[in-house]
Amino acid sequence: MPYVTTRDGVEIFYKDWGSGQPIVFSHGWPLSGDDWDAQMLFFLGQGYRVIAHDRRGHGRSSQVAEGHDMDHYADDLKAVTEHLGLRDAIHIGHSTGGGEVAHYLGRHGDQGVAKAVLVSAVTPFMLQTEGNPEGTPKSVFDEFQAQLAANRAQFYLDVPTGPFYGFDQPGAKPSEGSIRNWWRQGMMGGAKAQHDGIVAFSQTDLSDSLRRISIPVLVMHSEDDQIVPYAAAGPKAAKLLRNGTLKTYQGLPHGMHTTHAETINADILAFLRG
């Protein structure tokens, strides 16, 4: 299997299919590059080269004890892009992966990158503070960590069965396959990485990273996202970007790229071709 080794010795697994303009996908917590299957196959069919990596401590990458923070996530993404020699790349990130993409571009610059897409992203800042009253209270994230530590396997069934895909909403039709696939990906990764990752995605203010990005960025977020509340994320992120476009959805869940892949894929394709 293909891996790139980072400067601190972490082996990052990646998938690299096709040719043409590269699209690099960054996954959400606590999943893996497999979460982008519907997008990888679709954009491969549209003539793009598609690449997805497993974040350190997740999926098939090294289950190291340290480095589970946005700085390392961004640096690991840079290691992948440099290893593959990518030019004119498009970066797409979901949830924590959206934060990873934003920080990668803000930390390392957006030269050589054509466009970016942030899907249900944690940008700019999830934590509720005096300056960010729309954020989520720290007690919620503390409870996430407590549930993970107490019974990770059960927690990783409860999340996709409920709020992640909106299967807890009236009239929803739960997909057993999507639930099991979420659980499979989560349990492949390391508990330490995923435990620390909760702090990384909830307590990292990415506002400055967004301000530094000059390329066109599409921000896709649903007003009914139960994981990353819309008011604290989508509109704020788009406002901070120099060249941001906000695409707002109603009735779609946090994991809308899975539950409504046709809609999300079509909207991303229109942005890339526009």
Mapping DSSP onto H, E and C, the string for 145-183 reads HHHHHHHHHHHHHHHHHCCCCCCCCCCCCCCHHHHHHHH
Residue 1 has pLDDT above 80, yes or no: no
Residue whose tokens read 């519907």: 38
d(CA 257, CA 266): 11
CB neighbour list of residue 193: distance below 8 Å, 6 or more residues apart? 30, 55, 56, 57, 58, 63, 64, 68
Active site residue 95: yes
- Selecting among 62, 222, 225, 257, the annotated active-site residue is 225
- Selecting among 58, 254, 257, 260, the annotated active-site residue is 254
pLDDT at 52: 98
The residue-averaged pLDDT of 203-208 equals 98
Q: What is the pLDDT of residues 236-268, one digit of tens each?
A: 999 999 999 999 999 999 999 999 999 999 999
Q: What is the pLDDT of residues 70-81, one digit of tens each?
A: 999 999 999 999
Q: What is the pLDDT of residues 116-132, one digit of tens each?
A: 999 999 999 999 999 99
Provide Rg for the chain, Cα atoms.
Answer: 17
- Whether the CB-CB separation of 216 and 238 falls below 8 Å is answered with no
Active site residue 83: no
Judged on CB neighbours under 10 Å (0-12, 13-18, 19+), 207 is middle
Lookup: tokens for 206: 């990415």
- Selecting among 95, 120, 202, 209, the annotated active-site residue is 95
Rounded to 5 degrees, φ, ψ at 143 are -70, -35
What is the rounded (10 degree) CA torsion for 39, 43, 45, 46?
Answer: 150
Residue 217 has pLDDT above 80, yes or no: yes
Please give the domain boundaries of the chain with CATH numbers for all domains: 3-273 (3.40.50.1820)
d(CA 140, CA 128): 10
pLDDT at 245: 98
